[in-house]
Each structure stands twice: as C-alpha cells, then as structure tokens.
Amino acid sequence: MISGCQDRLNMFSMELLMSDYIIKNIIDVKDELPNSSSVLLWVWHADKIPPHIGLSLENQYFSLKANGKDFQLPVDNVFDLLAKKKITTLCFVLNNDIDLNSVLTEFKSYDQTIPFKVTCLNPIKNLLKCSEANKLIDLLEELERNNEVGSVFGFNVSDAFSGIKNYSTDDIHSRLTKLYND
C-alpha cells in the first residue's frame, strides 16, 4: 500500500517537473499590438526548448545572443521580423519602472552569450531584479509573484499552444554550445 502511494507521488512529482508554464488570455496581435514604449519581455520561439528572450522599452529592443547582441533595435523591426519569419513569440507587458539608461548600461557590459557562463537571461534578470532566476520560467514566476506581469501578446501562436515547456539549464547550455560551435 505504501509503495503504491509512493509510486503515485513520484509520478505526480515527475508530471510537475515536466509541466508547462501555463499562459492564459494571450492577446493575438492581429487584434491589438503591444505598446512598444512599455517595458516588454519578448519570448522568441516560445514553443521550443529553450526559448530565447529579449527586452524592449521606449521603442528600443535589446537581446543577448550567441553571435552578439541586439542593441537599441527599433521595435518596429522586431514586429516586421516576426511577421516575415512567423516565429512563435510571446510579449509580456511588464509593470516595471526600469529606465533606458539602466538597460543601456547593463547590455553594454555584455558582448554575447557564453555557454555555461552567460545566457540571454543574465542582463534581463539583473535589470528586473530577479537574480535567483536560472531560466525563463523562474523569471516569469517571480515577476508574477511581484505583480509585475500585465498583458501577454502572442505572435504566430497556434490554438494548441498553452504555455512554455519546462526545460533545464542543461538544455540552455547545450543549445548555446551548439550555437557557439556553428
């Protein structure tokens, strides 16, 4: 009897580890675009493991990548790229008061991602004061706990999409290593 309960508990624990970060009420950008002057957290390839993230505010986009960084890219260019390439992307409107000078300073301190050292999350978690976050789901959960997540907009999101798949930091560094070596 105890063994059966333990088995069910183990299965439940495994399901929790594999569960997605569920997102409800995604606003389709066909209906409305996010305000590009707001603080926006961008989740590129939201349907993949691992996704990629960037940040924008005051119509300027920033992201740390394996081949460099996007620095002060006009948000209209991001909208155009998403429309052209049909990349499944989420855009979280954040209730956060970070300023452009802080973002400029933070992103200037990085050149690119480095496997096992620096991910696209590093500058963003520093700016949003979520230093304990090791992956996107950690960041989103902390932002939610602090009531910093507003609306969520979806670009090229299928009806079957329900949330961000759970993944490990090993998945992140495996992907970064592959990108770094290509």
Least Cα distance to 35 among 74, 7, 75 occurs for 75
* 54 phi, psi to nearest 5 deg: -145, 175
Residue 182 is predicted with a pLDDT of 79
Splitting the chain (182 residues) into consecutive groups of 10 residues, what average pLDDT does each group show? Answer: 45 45 92 91 96 97 96 96 96 95 98 94 97 94 95 94 90 84 80
Asked if 89 contacts 43 with a C-beta cutoff of 8 angstroms, the reply is yes
Q: How far is CA 17 from CA 20, 45, 162, 163, 166, in A?
A: 9, 21, 16, 14, 7
What is the pTM assigned to this prediction? Answer: 0.87
Q: Report domain extents, the chain.
A: 2-181
